[in-house]
Amino acid sequence: MIWIKAQIEDTSPLEHSPNIIYVSESLADKLKTQTKLFFGQAEITISVQVSPAIPECMGTQFHDPAPIRFSPNLFKQLLIQESAVYQMHYTETTINIGPVIGFLLGDQHYYYHHRRLKELTYAMGVYEKVGGLFIAFRQCSISWQEMCIYGLYFNYGIQRWQYGKLPLPSVVYRRGFISNKNFVNKCNDLLNWKIFNEVRFDKWQFYNQLKENNILNQYLPETELLTVDNLSKFLNKYSKVILKPTKLSRGRGISILTSGCDGNLEVHDYRRFADFKITTSQLADYLHEGKYLQSAYIIQRFLDVPRINGCPWDIRVVMQKNRWKQWVCNGIECRLAGAGKLITNISSGGRALELNEVLQLAFGTEIDPIQVGKDIGSISMEFCKMMDRTGFRFAEFGLDLAIDQKMHYWFIEANVRPTFNGFKTLDDRIYRQICYEPILYSASIAGFGWEDNDGTSIQHHS
Amino acid sequence: MQIETVNLGFIYDAKKQQHVIKRMVDHFRHLSKEYKIRLVFFTLENLDIEEQIINGTTITGNDIRQEHASLPPLIYNFAMHYTINQIEIMRNLRKMNNVTVINPINRFIQDIIFEMLTTLTGSQQFLLPSATFNESTLTEYLNNKYHTLFLLPEKTFHPPKAVVIKRFRKNHYMICFGQNGKMCGKDDLLDYIKKMMNNKKYILMKGIKYFHWGEGPLEARVYLQKGAGGEWSNITISAKSCIFSKDIFYDTKINNILNGFITNEIKNIEQTLADVSLRICRFLDFHIPFLGSCTIDYIFDEDHCPHLVYVGGFEQNQYLYLSMDPAVQYKLLNNAFHYLLFLANYSNEKG
């Protein structure tokens, strides 16, 4: 594997030029004169020719790539970008240049621009380890007629996302869940790309997966789909229950009901500024009026975790696939609800704290933080392995766990496209690792490697 | 509360579009009758997004009522939204799984649009070099490159107004806003412009010697829409002076203005405007989803070549809208209706 820089051969004829790459003499010795070139989804038969004008360079380091010139027609077909530094590996019959990685964006913004891609720009901090072409696009960006993407690519030279006509990537990291569910299926059918985070399981689907798992089902709080009858049964059994929309995240749509001694129910509704009371006979009306029964909702027992200054907390675990295609735990943070709140999400006013600190505050010396870390790791790992067995490609999960007064672990929920905002303030090193890991994994499944920290060699894991 | 079911929805602005809403409702009454489709006109203020209920004007043929209706699956937005609350509602609306909103935004950040268009093949034909205004781009453009510069707001709720900066003689510049001009020394130029910009973002554009009409350059506005087949088409091209002039002037047909000057080229100019605008809209579809209407403004250089100066969504200027030929107004409404109908049939076919 070597590092290369693609240039256009400006001396060859412009139109209908044959598909040729021009290389230095020493590189030409290693390549067949007729071979197949792969770049993203493109596969083109090419000739390799020596050009004395190209300086000798072994391309062993990212910062010293070997120049390769492409005939204009080939350059145009591949939609290769000159600003990138690529990896190249070759066999007797093929040359692979890449990686070409796509980020499939969601509906967060109506249209995208460099200034709206801060998280991805941050992730490009790892660019010098993998090189290649990174493309941010959305459903509407694909031209099926031209089989290309009109999207944004990361221009390493100026550290900016720029618009361009771009090749179809070989690996796609799904960053948002767009409304048209057929789109991913269509792409899977028509394009030979590997897409990860391809499906989004909702809370009820995750629950049903977990329920079937003999190791994990002991950590599940009792859960049911919301109906008036189910809710009544839950309220007879538990003093506090939580209603969650199956498809929403970040604490949206949540309602918490607490049975009072007077037989009334106290309601903590995310839509209302203050809590209020209803009688049990008003329960059905409350659900009807609040449209809870029209949307898909689950009911869960509200977990009574030891509080810190009266505020509940939970644990967010970040599981990601690493460059060796293995699941790893890249971060554990605790999220403490804001004062007077019952929801821990950072976006709902919660704040991130270190696990050790929270365990100390909640349990004092009764608990061994190292053992807790191990337990969390093994629960999370079991979950990821279970999800791999579904046959879908996942590469990232945000898992929410809790520990109750009896030090029993609870699996609250899993998120396919989690946010990691808490880590930003907690530990920048961990936050960077979380941002970089999917990039290294993408390069790895695209069949490319990464440069060691000392920049002396490219590691490759196939 | 009785909640009616409707097929298609149209969002309007009760204040800014008060002069046209009656005509719109009247026209849609005929369409509703002809296609036996229930419609609702509503404002964002009368949308309960949590409950997905609208309090709006429902149209069932000749039957027009003020009542509650459920949120329809297809909505066309005629309005521009100003307040944080309205913008937030529209953001949530366009993100909903069960709803498609056409033209969720009718004003665009111009430097992003211009940056997108730089990658459209052949765009140098109509796109003037531009950059986000700051001290370094101003220095670069003035010192090394251009004799005249245009300064245009990055985005604005009102019709945009351009500032023209012309090198007058060495170290002196003429700053023109509409028909008003002021001389400014080189050392004071940046401060003067910044003060004039009032902390708003602007785009700096290479200026050209333009084709004059009255006191300023002649501007063309091309109206484009998607219609019954889901494809873009050119609706009309009108002449105006608005962005570069103090007073608004308007004529429904650009031919009327060009006729006296450049008779031989009129067809070519119209064709160029239509072709370029269609290419722009088709290209923007790759970057901006759910576009249904576009207005594209140009000025002309001395050789009568058009140069892009502004891209907007559905016409928001009521003076310009009402000045249009009524047949063109109806065409704009017809296309909005038929495009939604096309999308409804398309999704039905897909099952």
Q: What is the CATH number of the domain that holds A405?
A: 3.30.470.20
- Would residue A203 count as lying in a domain? no
Are B50 and A271 an interchain contact pair (Cβ–Cβ within 8 Å)? Answer: yes
Looking at every residue in chain A, the average pLDDT score rounds to 88
Number of inter-chain CB pairs under 8 A, A vs B: 46
Which CATH number belongs to the domain containing residue A288 in this structure? 3.30.1490.20
- Asked if A313 and A412 sit in the same domain, the reply is yes
Structural domain range at position A59: 2-98
By Cβ distance, the residue of B50, B104, B289 closest to A140 is B289
- Asked if A88 and A123 sit in the same domain, the reply is no
- Asked if A86 and A13 sit in the same domain, the reply is yes
Looking at every residue in chain B, the average pLDDT score rounds to 89
- Residue that terminates a domain, selected from A198, A232, A256: A198
Which of B119, B282, B350 is best to mutate for the A interface (most A CBs within 10 A)? B119
Which chain B residues contact residue A141 at CB under 8 A? 286-287
- Asked if A78 and A155 sit in the same domain, the reply is no
- Would residue A451 count as lying in a domain? no
- Residues B47-81 pLDDT 10s: 998 888 999 999 999 999 999 999 999 999 999 99
- Asked if A334 and A438 sit in the same domain, the reply is yes
- Would residue A457 count as lying in a domain? no
Q: Which residue of B has its CA nearest to A108?
A: B95
- Asked if A295 and A386 sit in the same domain, the reply is no
Q: What is the pLDDT of residue A462?
A: 44
- Asked if A91 and A142 sit in the same domain, the reply is no
By Cβ distance, the residue of A107, A150, A182 closest to B287 is A150
Domain count, chain A: 4
Which chain A residues contact residue B289 at CB under 8 A? 110-111, 138-140
Q: What is the pLDDT of residue B247?
A: 67
Q: Does A327 touch chain B (CB under 8 A)?
A: no
- Residues A327-384 pLDDT 10s: 999 999 999 988 777 677 777 778 889 999 999 998 888 889 999 999 999 999 999 9
Residue range B188-208: mean pLDDT, rounded: 90
- Residues A16-66 pLDDT 10s: 678 999 999 999 999 999 999 999 999 999 999 999 999 998 899 999 999
Q: Which residue of A has its CA nearest to B96?
A: A179
Q: What is the pLDDT of residue B88?
A: 93
- Asked if A65 and A8 sit in the same domain, the reply is yes
Counting residues of chain A whose pLDDT is more than 90, the rounded percentage is: 58
Q: Which residue of A has its CA nearest to B87?
A: A110
- Asked if A311 and A439 sit in the same domain, the reply is yes
- Would residue A456 count as lying in a domain? no
Q: What is the pLDDT of residue A175?
A: 85
- Asked if A351 and A424 sit in the same domain, the reply is yes
**A359 vs A283, higher pLDDT:** A359
- Residues B310-330 pLDDT 10s: 999 998 887 778 788 889 989
- Residues A234-259 pLDDT 10s: 888 888 899 898 877 766 778 888 88
- Residue that terminates a domain, selected from A98, A130, A149: A98
Interface of A with B in 78-137 (CB under 8 A): 107, 110-113
- Residue that terminates a domain, selected from A281, A301, A321: A301
Q: Out of A8-22, A439-453, B293-307, pick the least confident.
A: A8-22
- Asked if A337 and A228 sit in the same domain, the reply is no
- Residues A60-99 pLDDT 10s: 999 999 999 999 999 999 999 999 999 999 998 999 999 9
- Would residue A282 count as lying in a domain? yes
3-state SS, one letter per residue, for chain A: CEEEEEEECCCCCCCCCCCEEEECHHHHHHCCCEEEEEECCEEEEEEEEECCCCCCCCCCECCECEEEEECHHHHHHHCCCCCCEEEEEECCCEEEEECEEEEECCCCCCCCCHHHCHHHHHHHHHHHHHCCEEEEECHHHEECCCCEEEEEEEECCCCEEEEEEECCCCEEEECCCCCCCHHHHHHHHHCCCEEECCCCCCHHHHHHHHHCCCCCHHHCCCEEECCHHHHHHHHHHCCEEEEEECCCCCCCCCEEEEECCCCEEEEEECCCCCCEEEEHHHHHHHHHHCCCCCCCEEEEECCCCCCECCECEEEEEEEEECCCCCEEEEEEEEEECCCCCCCCCHHHCCEEECHHHHHHHHHCCCCCHHHHHHHHHHHHHHHHHHHHCCCCCCCEEEEEEEECCCCCEEEEEEECCCCCHHHHHHCHHHHHHHHHHHHHHHHHHCCCCEECCCCCCEECCC
Which CATH number belongs to the domain containing residue A31 in this structure? 2.40.40.20
pLDDT above 60 for B179: yes
pLDDT above 80 for A272: no
Q: Does A285 touch chain B (CB under 8 A)?
A: no
Q: Out of A189-198, A291-300, A331-340, B341-350, pick the least confident.
A: B341-350
- Asked if A266 and A384 sit in the same domain, the reply is no
Q: Out of A123-127, A421-425, B36-40, B86-90, pick the least confident.
A: A421-425
Counting residues of chain B whose pLDDT is more than 70, the rounded percentage is: 96
